[in-house]
Every structure is written in C-alpha cells, then in structure tokens.
Amino acid sequence: MTFKETAAATIALLEPAPVGGLIRPSSPRAKFALDASQFVAPSEWCMTIPIMVKKPSAFLPVIMSFAALAVVLAHVAIFGAAREADEGTAAHLWQLLMAAQLPLLVFFAIKWLPRSPKQALLVMALQASAAVAALAPVYFLKL
C-alpha cells in the first residue's frame, strides 16, 4: 500500500459511520471492519489494582470479612469474651459471613487470575488479610 492509499484509508476510517453502523463491502472501511468478538473491553486489558478492586467479586469478600469482624467485636463489647454454652446469633452471623465469601473468592480467582495474575494476586492477598483479621479475635479470645 502506498502512502496515498494509506492516508485515504485512514481518512475514510475517521469519517462518521453511516446510520445504523453498517459498512458497505465496497467501502474503504470494509477492509478494516472488525466484528465485536475481536474487541476486548478496555477494563480487561488495562486492569490496575484500583479498577480491579471496584469489581464486586473483589470488594465483597473484604466487606464481608470486616462485617464479620464487626459482629465479633460488637458481641465482645456487649457481652464480654466469655464462652457460652450454646452458640448465639453472633456466632452464626460470623459463620455465615465467612462461609459466604468462599464462592466469591473462587469466582474471582477463576475469572481474574488468568487475565491479570499480578493484580489478582494482590487483591487476593487483601482479601486473605481481611479474612485473617476477622479470624484473629475468634482464635485469640477462644470464642
């Protein structure tokens, strides 16, 4: 392709698309037309930590861990750290919050580790540290 042909094709590409977005097979744009399956969403090829943390599968486990931590701390503040004969509502809420994270963590790992391993591992480290923070009072206070 000569410079003039390349320039003409570039100018043709910069022209607005016809109404309905259809390109005639004979138009200069047809040579460069791509179907939607060849495009990747910008959020998936330029994934950064702040963008990835905004994904629900990334931030929901962290929120659930902190909610479980809040349940334990509120229970200890109100009733003390004494062991009870029967598990109460706080213990059941804590167990539900911690167990409900597992499907989200698995989904996050399956979806994001192959696409963006470095960022996904950093987010998973954040999720793990939040889970450890929720587990620590239960372990150390022997609740």
- The more confident residue out of 30 and 100 is 100
Rounded-to-integer distance, Cα 37 and Cα 41, Å: 10
Q: Do 31 and 91 fall within a single domain?
A: no
For residue 4, pLDDT beyond 60: yes
What is the per-residue pLDDT for 104?
A: 95
Q: Do 19 and 78 fall within a single domain?
A: no
8 Å CB contact between 39 and 55? no
Q: Do 47 and 27 fall within a single domain?
A: no
- The more confident residue out of 51 and 1 is 51
What is the per-residue pLDDT for 52?
A: 84
8 Å CB contact between 57 and 107? yes
For residue 53, pLDDT beyond 90: no
Q: Do 24 and 85 fall within a single domain?
A: no
Rounded-to-integer distance, Cα 7 and Cα 69, Å: 62
Rounded-to-integer distance, Cα 35 and Cα 22, Å: 11
For residue 79, pLDDT beyond 80: yes
Domain of residue 61 covers 42-140
What is the per-residue pLDDT for 45?
A: 52
CA distances from 88 to 63, 76, 96, 123, 142 (A): 22, 12, 13, 32, 15
Q: Do 11 and 66 fall within a single domain?
A: no
What is the per-residue pLDDT for 101?
A: 95
Q: Do 118 and 130 fall within a single domain?
A: yes
Q: Do 25 and 50 fall within a single domain?
A: no
Q: Do 18 and 64 fall within a single domain?
A: no
What is the per-residue pLDDT for 31?
A: 52
Q: Do 51 and 31 fall within a single domain?
A: no
Q: Do 56 and 117 fall within a single domain?
A: yes
User: Does pTM top 0.75 for this prediction?
Assistant: no
* Count of domains for the chain: 2
Mean pLDDT (the chain) is 80
Q: Do 32 and 95 fall within a single domain?
A: no
Q: Do 11 and 34 fall within a single domain?
A: yes
What is the per-residue pLDDT for 70?
A: 97
